[in-house]
Amino acid sequence: MAEATKEAPKKSRRKLTKEVTNNGVKITVFNGEKGEMFFDFTKYPVEIQGKLGPFGLGHKLGDAAAGRSGKDAEEAINKVHAGMMANDWTTRAPAVPKVKVTDLLENFQKMSKKEKEIAGPLLAALGIELPA
Residue type at position 39 = F
Asked if 81 and 48 sit in the same domain, the reply is yes
Instruction: Tell me if 131 is assigned to some domain.
Output: yes
Asked if 109 and 62 sit in the same domain, the reply is no
Residue 126, C-beta contacts closer than 8 angstroms, at least 6 positions apart = none
Q: How many domains does the chain have?
A: 2
Domain span including residue 66: 16-85
Per-residue pLDDT of the chain (132 residues; tens, 9 = 90+): 445 545 555 554 678 899 988 899 999 998 888 889 999 999 999 999 999 999 999 999 999 998 888 999 999 999 999 999 999 988 887 766 677 888 888 889 999 999 989 998 998 888 888 877
Q: What is the DSSP string of 60-98?
A: HHHHHTTT--HHHHHHHHHHHHHHHHTT-TT--PPPPP-
Instruction: Tell me if 37 is assigned to some domain.
Output: yes
